[in-house]
Amino acid sequence: MKQPRHQQGQLYIAANGSIRLKFWSTVINGKGAERKRRDVFVCQQDSTHYAEKRADGVIFNNEVLAIRDRLMLAENDKQRAFHKTPVHRVDIHTIARLRAIKFLEAGTGIT
């Protein structure tokens, strides 16, 4: 089975100045599950939601990062249905020990 996906998404500034978020999502269609790239509006830049362009890239303020975290938390929770955690396997020695304990408890009357 696949491991559950945890992603943070990628924030960027659109041409109109708004802040948007890109991420991958699993959708069900007629052929089965398919990965699609999604692009959602986060916020319009203003005095509390802004980004600074620097030489090493774009830095978003904490309010924008908080919105991104809320959006991605909801998306990651939805994606867990498609990517369930693997079942832990028990080795043969553990099974034998458990059966021996059950046998001994049944023979001695211990419950």
What token pair was written down for 41?
């509006």
The C-alpha angle 85, 86, 88, rounded to 5 degrees, equals 125
Instruction: Tell me how many degrees the CA angle 17-20-24 measures, rounded to the nearest 5.
Output: 155
Q: What does the pLDDT look like over 2-38, one tens digit per residue? A: 566 678 899 999 999 999 999 988 887 888 878 889 9
pLDDT tens digits, 47-99: 999 898 899 889 999 999 999 999 988 888 887 766 665 555 666 767 777 78
Q: What are phi and psi of 94, to 5 degrees?
A: -65, -40
Residue ranges per domain, the chain?
10-86
pTM: 0.66
